[in-house]
A and B are shown apart, each in its own frame.
Chain A
Amino acid sequence: MSVAASTNRKRAARSNLWRSIRKNYMLYLFLVPAIVYVAVFSYAPMYGVQIAFKNFKASKGILGSPWAGVTHFKTFFTSYRFSLLLTNTLAVSVYQILVGFPIPIILALLFNYVKSPGFKKFAQTVSYAPHFISTVVLVGMMSMFFSTTTGFVNTAIAALGFQKVHFFGEPRCFRHLYVWSGVWQNMGWSAVIYIATLSGVDQQQHEAAVIDGATILQRMWHIDLPALAPTIVILLIMQAGSIMSVGYEKVYLMQNSSNLTTSEVISTYTFKIGLQDSKYSYSAAIGLFNNVINFIMLITVNQITKKVSGMALW
C-alpha cells in the first residue's frame, strides 16, 4: 500500500517536473545559444585537452592520436626552462598582487575623505581614464616614453647626468614596468568597487566616531577597513585563482629577445611552442599544468578563508 503510494507520488512528481519543463520550453530555447557557446568554446577545448596525454597528429585527430601518458609533463618538469618559467611567472604575479592589490584599497580610502563632491567626482573620472586604453596602445606608449632615442624618460635621466637605460631591453626592468604600468592603468577602476562599498557605510558610525574624538586614520582603520573586509577577501580569492595566469597579452607585447630571461612566462611560452613551433601536445600539457595550479589555488584559498573568516566565494 505504502509502496504503491510512494511510486504514485514519484510518478506524480515526475509528471509535475515534466509538465513544468514543457510549460517553460521557451525558457530552455532561450538558453540554447549560450549553452552551445560554452559547449563549443569552453567544454570542447576541455575535452580536447586530452592531447596533453597523447602525441597529437593532425592527420589522426584528437581521438586517433596515440597515447603518450605523462611524457610531456615529465619533459616539461625536467627541462631546463621549467624553473625559469615558474620563477618568472610567480615573480610577476606575486609582485603584481603585492603592489596592485592594496593600492586601489588605499585609493578608495583616500577618495572617501574628500569633502568636495565636485572634486571627488572629477578625480574619480580622471582615475578611470587609463582603464579604457588598449593593451597595445599602453605598451606602445611605454615603449615610446622609455625609448633611448626619443623617450622623455631617458632624456630626463641623461639631463640629470646618469647613463641612459634601455628599459625595454633590460631584463631587470621588465617586472617593474609590467607591474607599475598595470597600477597606472587599473588603480582607479579597481577602486570603484571599494568606493561603492564605502559609500554604503552607515554615516552615523562616522559621526559617533568623530564625537568620540577619532581621527581620520582611526576611522579608516576601525570603520572603513572592517566594512571593506568581505570585498577584499572575495577579490583576493579571485586573484589567487589566477596566480599563474599573468596577463599574457601584455607580457607578449612587452617581450623582446633581450628581456626574455625575465619576461618569458608560462602562458607566453605555451603560445610560442604551441602555435609557432606547432608542438601541440607539449604545449597543451604545459597549459593544462598552468590551469590546474590556478584551479587548485582558487579552491585552496577559498577553503582557507572560509575556515578563517567564514567568507568565501562558495
Chain B
Amino acid sequence: MISRIAHRSNRIREPRADRVTRAVIMTILILLMVITLYPLYFIVIASFSDPSIVGTGAILLWPTKTTMAGYKNILQNAKIWIGYRNTIFLYVIPGTILNVLVTTMAAFSLSRRDLVGRNVIMGLFIFTMYFSGGLIPTYLLVKSLHLINNPLVIILMGAFSVYNMIIARTYFSTSIPFELQEAAMVDGCSTQRLFLTIILPLSKPILAVLALYSAVGHWNAYFNAMIYLQDLKYYPLQLVLRQILLTGSALEKTASTVAESAESESSLELLGTLTKYCVIVVSTLPVIAVYPFLQKYFIKGVMIGAVKG
C-alpha cells in the first residue's frame, strides 16, 4: 500500500530531468535492440534473396527477388548433414548425459557437510579453474591415451565442469534441507537411493541448467574437434561450418582470381555467398529459436553461480 502511494506520487512529481533521462534510456535501449537484432534479421532475409543484389544495399528490410537456391544447395550438401548428425548424436546427447551425471554426482557428494575432507577436494577442483598445464601437455596426453581422431575425446573432455559442479553444489546445499537427507538415512535409505529418489527429483531446475549449459557448449564448440579429430566423418557441425564460412572463402577467392571464365566463376561465388547465409540460418536457428523459452534456466545458472562466485 505504502509503496503504491509512493509510486503514484513519484509518477506525479517526476522531475523534468528524470523525464528526459527516461526518454534517453528508452532511446538507447531501442537503438541497442536494433543493433542486436538487425544483423540476425539481415542474415535471414539475405538467405532468401538473389545474391547478386545482397551486397548492393537493395536489401534492407525484406527479401528481394526471392530464391531458394541456397537452401537447395544445402540440402544436397552431405557434409552439413553429417555434421548435424554428429553434433547431435555423437556429441550433444551422449556428452550432455555424461556431463550431467558426473557433475551432479560430484556436486551431491561435496554438498554433504558430513563428507570428511571435502574442503581439500573442493580446493583441488577449484585450482583447476585458475591454472592449467596448457594446450601442448594436454595434446600430448590425449595422444598418449590414443584418443586422437576418436570422437570419444570430445565427450570425455566435456564430461565434467567445475563451474557447473559449484552451481549444482550450491543448489543442493541451499535448496534441499540436510535434515531431509538425515531423516531418510535414519530410515535406512542408502546414499545411492537418496541421490536417485530424493535429490534428483527435487533438483529438476538445476538439472535443466546443467544440461543446457553442456548442450549449448557442445553445439557451439569447434576448437577441440579441430585439434583432435581428422576424419571428416567425425566432424561436428561447427567444423563443417568453419570450412564453409571461413576456410572455404579463402579457396573461393584464389579460384576466382585465377579463373579465366569469369562469368561462371562469379556466379558460383555468388551461390557460395548465398549458401553461407543459408548455412548460418540452418545451424543457428535451433538454438536461437529455443532459448527464449528456456532462458529462465540459463539465468538461474548465472544467479546461483554468482552466490558462490
Contact = CB atoms under 8 A, between A and B. Distances in A.
Contact of A295 (B6, B105, B130): B130
B108 interface: yes
Contact-residue size bin, chain B (C-beta under 8 Å from the other chain): 35 or more
Nearest to A50: B137
A77 interface: no
Nearest to A250: B223
A270 B227 contact: no
Contacts of A248: 223
B103 A253 contact: no
Interface string B229-251: 00000000010011001100110
Nearest to B240: A136
Given A34-B160, A46-B137, A256-B250, A140 B220 contact: no
Tell me what chain B mostly uses at the interface: helix, strand, loop, or mixed.
helix
A210 B39 CA distance: 39
Interface in B159-210: 159-160, 162, 165, 190-192, 195
A280 B130 contact: no
B258 interface: no
A155 interface: yes
B287 interface: yes
A235 B309 CA distance: 9
B137 A51 contact: yes
B295 interface: yes
Contact of B295 (A128, A197, A241): A128
A201 interface: no
Given A253-B246, A275-B227, A150 B132 contact: no
A276 to B, nearest CB: 11
B141 interface: yes
A130 B36 contact: yes
Given A111-B29, A141-B39, A249-B222, A46 B133 contact: yes
B191 A26 contact: yes
A27 interface: yes
B288 interface: yes
Contact of A132 (B106, B114, B291): B291
Interface string B1-26: 00100110110010101100110011
B280 A45 contact: no
A262 to B, nearest CB: 18
A295 B288 CA distance: 35
B157 interface: yes
B302 interface: yes
Q: Which of A45, A128, A147, A275 has the most CB of B within 10 A?
A: A45
Nearest to B103: A34
A90 interface: no
B299 to A, nearest CB: 6
Contact of A196 (B32, B54, B114, B303): B303
A151 interface: yes
B115 A211 contact: no
A133 B284 contact: yes
A196 B28 CA distance: 21
Most buried by B among A47, A137, A139, A210: A137
B162 to A, nearest CB: 8
Interface string A115-152: 10000000101111110111111011101110101111
Interface in A28-86: 28, 30-31, 33-35, 37-38, 40-49, 51, 56, 62
Contact of A144 (B112, B134, B277): B277
A43 to B, nearest CB: 7
A303 B77 CA distance: 55
A87 interface: no
A24 B10 contact: no
Interface in B119-177: 121, 124-125, 128, 130-141, 145, 156-157, 159-160, 162, 165
Given A129-B36, A184-B35, A196-B306, 4 more contacts: A38-B125, A49-B137, A125-B292, A150-B273
Q: Give the 9 A-B CB pairs with smallest separation, nearest first.
A: A45-B133, A140-B245, A287-B134, A48-B137, A34-B106, A26-B191, A134-B220, A150-B55, A45-B137
Interface of B: 3, 6-7, 9-10, 13, 15, 17-18, 21-22, 25-26, 28-29, 32-33, 35-37, 39-40, 42-43, 51, 54-57, 101-103, 105-106, 108-110, 112, 114-116, 121, 124-125, 128, 130-141, 145, 156-157, 159-160, 162, 165, 190-192, 195, 216, 219-223, 227, 238, 241-242, 245-246, 249-250, 270, 273, 276-277, 280, 283-284, 287-288, 291-292, 295, 298-299, 302-303, 306, 309
